[in-house]
Amino acid sequence: MPNLVGDVSSAARILPDLNGEKLFIRKGKGACLEDADGRRYIDTALGFGAVLLGHANDRVNLAVSEALGDSAAPSWAHVREHGAATALASHTGELSKVIFTNSGSEAVHLACRAARAYTGRGKIAKMAGGFDGWFDDVSYGNVSSTEAGFEDGQRPSTERTTLLRYNDFADVERLFAEDPDIAAVVLEPMLANAGCIMALPGYLKHVQEIAHQHGALVICDEVLMGFRLYAGLAGVLEGLDPDLASVGKAIGNGVPVSAVVGKPHILAGFEEGRVIRGGTFSGNPMACAAVTSTLAQLDTADYEALMARGNHLRQAIESLFKAHGVTITTSGYGNVFGIWLGATAPGTYEQAARAANPRFTLALHLALREAGLLMMPSPYGRIYISFEHTDSVIEEMKNAFAQAAARLSAEFANA
């Protein structure tokens, strides 16, 4: 009997059996992974968005190895932490103060603590259907939960968390009319874990304006989207001026690291010892080395070319399925996008919940896996590409999708 619960320590890693076999990854390099039996796959999960430079990047690995050799846990302040914070803050504008944590969930949790401490209020508002970590408070209202879909006048709330409908302008105003105890709104630049639902024009700035009018802070949850569109915060591209942001994933290229970045006056309580923080491994030498090396490479990376390759892939996938009588559409950006069965991408969580087709997504996952490409089996999953997904890799991916489209055509044509 296996000792590991469910074969994995994170439920997101669970994959269906293929031909009676489970998948266990042995190693990865660049755009690809290799399983325990030596089979090669093009990877589109990429550490769920963390691996932007490609698996096992040589420069990041060398920096982390050197840090590990110097001491994994020196306990006290060490020589790499300030440098990593300076490197990160140079990309986050007025959010110039940094506290390192270990996971995106921790970063969001700490940002919420900062907001509660600064405002003296108790409740956090998050987007229904959004994923802002698995800690109890912010896991409320996650995608597929019963409370994520709600009607006007029936807003789900707990003592510490309340929900907002993404892309609903009026719902923001209703929220603050109903509840004066909102410390902050947690805002994703794109509702990524609900299948890459794009923000409507002006929506994000509207949320920020209403929140600030009522004395609440804005926390940009950039764990997934930060540094993915350019070497900085995605929310800034939308004209946002957040008070705090949580970052992670891409800042360490797969090495476990995250951070809260914020305006100095918001985080002053931590600096003055009035608000508690901790974490034995927060800001550890390996994480800091990974951040410094990763950001240095992202500063010279060709994001424009990456986006162009991804958008070419999106168009090709839609065309390949159309050629086999299956109508699909994609939503998101060139290097992170969702695939939907149907002609129109959802613009709200309610639309996404109706459009989600687990049978199609599972069939697509299995067909692509047989063709040598790994993608998430969830109907809300995403396709990521990294800087190692070169033109030749994109061509391989197109071939895999062509095989999948042919296999799925009989079942899903004109669905």
Identify the burial level of 391 via C-beta atoms within 10 angstroms of its C-beta, where 0-12 means exposed, 13-18 middle and 19 or more buried: exposed
Structure tokens at 78: 């060490």
CA distance 54 to 31: 6
Identify the burial level of 207 via C-beta atoms within 10 angstroms of its C-beta, where 0-12 means exposed, 13-18 middle and 19 or more buried: buried
- pLDDT score at 361: 97
CA distance 341 to 211: 35
- 179-193 per-position pLDDT tens digit: 999 999 999 999 999
- 87-125 per-position pLDDT tens digit: 999 999 999 999 999 999 999 999 999 999 999 999 999
Identify the burial level of 110 via C-beta atoms within 10 angstroms of its C-beta, where 0-12 means exposed, 13-18 middle and 19 or more buried: buried
- 132-167 per-position pLDDT tens digit: 999 999 999 999 999 999 988 899 999 999 999 999
- 371-394 per-position pLDDT tens digit: 999 999 999 999 999 999 999 999
- pLDDT score at 16: 87
Instruction: Tell me yes or no: is domain 5-53+301-412 CATH 3.30.70.60.
Output: no
Q: What is the domain partition of the chain in residue ranges?
A: 5-53+301-412, 58-298
- pLDDT score at 415: 65
Does 58-298 match 5-53+301-412 at the fold level? no
Instruction: Give the CATH architecture of domain 58-298.
Output: 3-Layer(aba) Sandwich (3.40)
